[in-house]
Amino acid sequence: MSDLSLHRGKFLELRQRDNWEYVHRVRGQTPVGIIALTPDNHLLLISQFRIPLQQTIIEIPAGLVGDTPGEESEPWQLAAQRELLEETGYWPAHVELLAEGPTSAGLTDECIKLVHATQLQKRGNPTPDGDEHITLHEIPLPQVDAWLAQKSRAGHLIDPKVYSALYFLTRHT
């Protein structure tokens, strides 16, 4: 059972195994999704325009492990710290693996690590990579449900990983 490459782009490759076509990341194959609360109990969420959906999506901070040339063997813990700092300006002293699983099992072979970032320190403003246009939202935890409902009513898409984050926070805080 070998894979056939149908097309390879800069970031993604379309592969075929038997009669199934799926997407494979060319580099940085493991995403980390970061669940983070500030010291004053605000959940860190981001929003950014996503070209495939042509819409701004509300998400947890996230990024890829080892997606920088020369850093392919980067530990996932360091990637989580780096991505949280880039997207929010917060540095976590500790990250804990909560769960790992497929992002879209019928579409891609990638599996995401959901991590809990703790002992956050504000180190400055967000510094997103190149063409990322990220807006940081610091939502008081007791107000998150109402904030998400309001955003959803307004037509915003909410990434389901946000709800996974809330699930884990009710069990780890």
Residue 20: burial class (beta carbons within 10 Å; 0-12, 13-18, 19+): exposed
CA distance 116 to 60: 11
**Does the CA dihedral 8-11-17-20 come out positive or negative?**
negative
CA distance 24 to 14: 6
CA distance 56 to 46: 10
CA distance 163 to 43: 12
The residue among 128 and 163 whose pLDDT is bigger is: 163
Question: What pLDDT is attached to residue 14?
Answer: 93
Question: What pLDDT is attached to residue 129?
Answer: 76
Residue 147: burial class (beta carbons within 10 Å; 0-12, 13-18, 19+): middle
Question: What pLDDT is attached to residue 67?
Answer: 82
**155 confidence band (pLDDT: 50, 70, 90):** very high
Long-range contacts formed by 67-75: CB under 8 A, 24+ apart: 67/27, 67/28, 68/28, 69/27, 72/27
Global pTM value: 0.92
150: number of Cβ within 10 Å: 11
Q: What percent of the chain has pLDDT over 90?
A: 81
**172 confidence band (pLDDT: 50, 70, 90):** low
Question: What pLDDT is attached to residue 78?
Answer: 95
Contact 115, 28 (CB under 8 A): no
CA distance 4 to 150: 45
**Does the CA dihedral 152-165-29-132 come out positive or negative?**
positive
**Does the CA dihedral 37-42-48-52 come out positive or negative?**
positive
pLDDT in tens, 25-83: 988 779 999 999 999 999 999 999 999 999 999 999 999 998 888 888 899 999 999 99
| Average of per-residue pLDDT across 109-124 | 95
| Average of per-residue pLDDT across 10-30 | 90
